Homo-oligomer: A and B are copies of this chain.
């Protein structure tokens, strides 16, 4: 559940979204497919996801480089999912690309 990531530095994509409540079955299927697709993507290190009250979804994916993130963003099937996200799944979202400088665990 907590991603096992290598020593910093590496990269994080922080995806925060409000689920619209529409097309819930398709949303679930698409989310699962995007995880499988990301796992096949070069430079993918892991991800964490939680959906809380009021439909707030936070998904953080970890990558070994900015180039890996750019390639993932441009993936054709992912582009189609992003379009469905805007059309149907999400009423709002913010994506932040960040460089992880240090990390510690308990």
Contact = CB atoms under 8 A, between A and B. Distances in A.
Q: How many A residues touch the partner, as a band?
A: 35 or more
Contacts of A66: 101
Given A16-B60, A50-B50, A92-B106, A97 B97 contact: no
Contact of A16 (B2, B17, B93, B99): B2
* Chain A at the B interface: SS class: strand
Contacts of A58: 48-50, 58, 60
Number of copies: 2
A1 interface: yes
10 contacts: A1-B18, A2-B94, A5-B96, A16-B48, A49-B56, A50-B53, A50-B57, A92-B106, A94-B103, A97-B103
